Amino acid sequence: MIQKIIELNYYHIFYNVIDDDMIYQFAIKLNLKQHKLAENVMTFDNGEEARKYFIENAGNLEMLPDVILLDINMPIMDGWDFLEWYKANKEAFARKVPIFMVSSSIDWRDIERAKSYDSVMDYISKPLTEGNFFEIVHKLSA
């Protein structure tokens, strides 16, 4: 019964994964679909690709994700640069999109810096576990 409720309520969450690790991207897609927590997962190799997507779809609610999983260290535009850009431009979007920082960094300075952004709901250390996915869904529904 609980599984059925989760399927009904959360299967249609639209995720954006911004991370340059292709294996991680594949694993996230697989896990989200396997646990029926997402139907649509869009990936970007860096913050610049995601920034362009957001600019192109700023006013289109259906094209904006429900949540972003954002890595810190990436080429071209890293997670910090993306956060700064998003912070400066979030009023231009049809809705506020919550962000979860997902990184292999366990440096307390990175954690504190991430949590200083209003858009960041949490900081999660890689690798993500099944529990992390359900925690994200729980925080989105709160």
Give per-residue pLDDT as tens, 32-52: 888 778 878 999 999 999 999
* 83: in domain: no
Q: pTM score, two decimals?
A: 0.88
* 126: in domain: yes
Q: Which two tokens stand for residue 135?
A: 């925690």
* 98: in domain: yes
* 97: in domain: yes
Q: Would you call 94 helix, strand, or coil by DSSP?
A: coil
Long-range contacts for 52-56 (Cβ within 8 Å, ≥24 apart)?
A: 53/16, 54/86, 54/89, 54/93
Among the listed residues 1, 106, 87, the one whose alpha carbon sits nearest the alpha carbon of residue 68: 87
* 104: in domain: yes
In total, how many domains does the chain have?
A: 1
Give me the amino acid identity at 2: I
CATH value at residue 46 = 3.40.50.2300
* 50: in domain: yes
Domain span including residue 17: 8-77+89-141
pLDDT in tens, 49-102: 999 999 998 888 888 898 999 999 999 999 999 999 999 998 888 788 999 999
* 82: in domain: no
* 1: in domain: no
Given a contact cutoff of 8 angstroms between Cβ atoms, the answer to whether 41 and 17 are in contact is yes
Q: DSSP class of residue 128?
A: P
